[in-house]
Structure 1
Amino acid sequence: MLLLASAGTWLITKRINTQKGRLLVDEQTGKKILLKKKHTFFYIPVRYWVFILIVAAIVVFLVKAFKIAG
């Protein structure tokens, strides 16, 4: 289940990161600023949750595998 959640998170992240931001130019300085939404979950960017879920799936698998064997 965690691997499926990881795959779903990866697909969502891929879609979110392709969205374009909004470019603003300060009239006084001419400085350009790109505004984009930040997508986080518990202050961690969503793109990193893919790897967190994969590691969690591996840990759960190993715990169950050694519990059955031991």
Structure 2
Amino acid sequence: MIIWSGWGALTALIAGAALFGSILLDPALARLGVPTPTGVVLVWVAAAVLNWILGTRLNNRPGRELVDPRTGQVVVLRPRHTLFWIPMQYYSVLLLLIGALAVLGSLGGGVSRTRV
């Protein structure tokens, strides 16, 4: 079950699009002679940047100021955009880590074991 508030679910969609994009872009760049992890790095960095920009813009919007008539206290109502209670812009670090792990996985894919 995915728990989100506001547009926080957009982070999961961005990560899914990055995964799909890296699956499609990596073989296409390999046919052009570009090294294998380059496409993966580009896609995950772009996803992290997009997620950071959207998250900071959505979570830094000004809120509505309401005044309590009895006490005169000002209350600011601001919508939050979270995924699993974490603001969506902080998932950009996780997207970069996923990209780094994907690169490490693509580099270490050629290891073979020999029996003695």
TMscore range, shorter length? 0.7 to 0.9
Measured after TM superposition, the shift of residue 51 of structure 1 is 0.8
What SS does the aligned partner of 2:71 have? Answer: coil
Residue correspondences, number: 69
**Deviation sequence 1:29-58 (CA, Å, 0-9, x none):** 122111100101243320211111011111
2:69 is equivalent to residue 27 of structure 1: yes
The structure having more radius of gyration, on CA atoms, is 2
Moved over 3 A (4+): none
**In structure 2, how many angstroms separate the alpha carbons of the residues matched to 1:22 and 1:51?**
30
Which residue number corresponds to residue 60 of structure 2? 18
What SS does the aligned partner of 1:19 have? Answer: coil
Q: Which structure has more strand as a fraction of its residues?
A: 1
Percentage of identical aligned residues: 29
What is the RMSD computed on CA atoms of the aligned residues?
1.5
**In structure 1, how many angstroms separate the alpha carbons of the residues matched to 2:58 and 2:67?**
24
2:109 is equivalent to residue 43 of structure 1: no
**In structure 1, how many angstroms separate the alpha carbons of the residues matched to 2:71 and 2:54?**
37
State which drifts further: 55-64 or 36-45.
36-45
Which residue number corresponds to residue 63 of structure 1? 105
TM-score by length of 1: 0.81
TM-score by length of 2: 0.53
Gaps of 5+ in 2: 1-42, 112-116
